Chains A and B, each alone.
Chain A
Amino acid sequence: HVQLVQSGAEVKKPGASVRVSCKTSGYTFSDYYMLWVRQSPGQGLEWVGWINPRSGDTNYAQKFQGRVTMTRDTSSRTGYMEVRRLTSDDTAVYYCSRGAHWYTGTSSDYWGQGTLVSVSS
């Protein structure tokens, strides 16, 4: 069955970087986009971006451009998201998800369990 398993919680200081991994199983990795969403404590969902697993092409929300990088390793069926220059506003649960259909307006049908990233001095 389809699974997305994310790396564990992280505690970082302001200005640092964090990399979250999302290891997949149960489906052909290259046949589905990987999408990333975050949720700050007590807040709603916020779009971060997506990566095309075949080409490596990415699309980031404007507010994250220049500070977020998404990559993938097709051999290990794993996606990665790095966020740089962290501030307290980046404290959130970060989710990876699988794009349900092969087009850039797709929904997310399977989700990782979420990774809490806490930024504090």
Chain B
Amino acid sequence: QSVLTQPPSVSGAPGQRVTISCTGSISNIGAGYDVHWYQQLPGTAPKLLIYGNSNRPSGVPDRFSGSKSGTSASLAITGLQAEDEADYYCQSYDSTLSGVFGGGTKLTVL
């Protein structure tokens, strides 16, 4: 069981907006640790999508956005495209300075 809780799956039609939630606790997200998001395509290494709760690395489309509030965070994807179909993971840290991950969310583009 993962420390951070994500929905196992979400889906949306091309062009639509989807959100993926990431729920933690006062020991991790709620303690003020940053939340990061990764996209993983089958058979490949994860790719950084959002860092520091809401920042996009260079090259990541602005269709991807992140937010954080209290003990939770969210990833929003607007203008859904077929190429967005992938697994998405949130990550934060806990008071021992160890990283913690969500269980991952499989995004299906209908």
User: What residues of chain A have their CB less than 8 Å away from a CB belonging to chain B?
Assistant: 35, 37, 44-47, 49-50, 59-62, 95, 97, 100-101, 104-109, 111-114
Bound Cα distance from A45 to B57, whole angstroms: 20
Partner among B57, B101, B104 whose Cβ is within 8 Å of the Cβ of A109: B57
Between A and B, how many residue pairs show CB distances below 8 Å?
A: 70
User: What residues of chain B have their CB less than 8 Å away from a CB belonging to chain A?
Assistant: 2, 33-34, 36, 38, 40, 45-48, 51-52, 57, 87, 89, 91-93, 96-104
In order of increasing CB-CB distance, the 3 nearest A-B pairs are A47-B99, A107-B36, A111-B45
Bound Cα distance from A35 to B45, whole angstroms: 13
Q: How far is the CB of B83 from chain A (nearest CB, A)?
A: 19
Contacting pair A62 B98 (CB below 8 A): yes
When distances are taken between beta carbons in the complex, the residues of chain B under 8 Å from A50 are 99
Contacting pair B46 A44 (CB below 8 A): no
Contacting pair B45 A45 (CB below 8 A): no
When distances are taken between beta carbons in the complex, the residues of chain A under 8 Å from B2 are 44
Q: How far is the CB of A7 from chain B (nearest CB, A)?
A: 15
Contacting pair B93 A105 (CB below 8 A): yes
When distances are taken between beta carbons in the complex, the residues of chain B under 8 Å from A111 are 45-47
Bound Cα distance from A45 to B40, whole angstroms: 10
Q: How far is the CB of A111 from chain B (nearest CB, A)?
A: 4
Contacting pair B96 A47 (CB below 8 A): no
Bound Cα distance from A113 to B91, whole angstroms: 20
Residue in A closest to B45 when the chains form the complex, CB atoms: A111
When distances are taken between beta carbons in the complex, the residues of chain B under 8 Å from A46 are 101
When distances are taken between beta carbons in the complex, the residues of chain B under 8 Å from A60 are 98
Bound Cα distance from A97 to B38, whole angstroms: 13
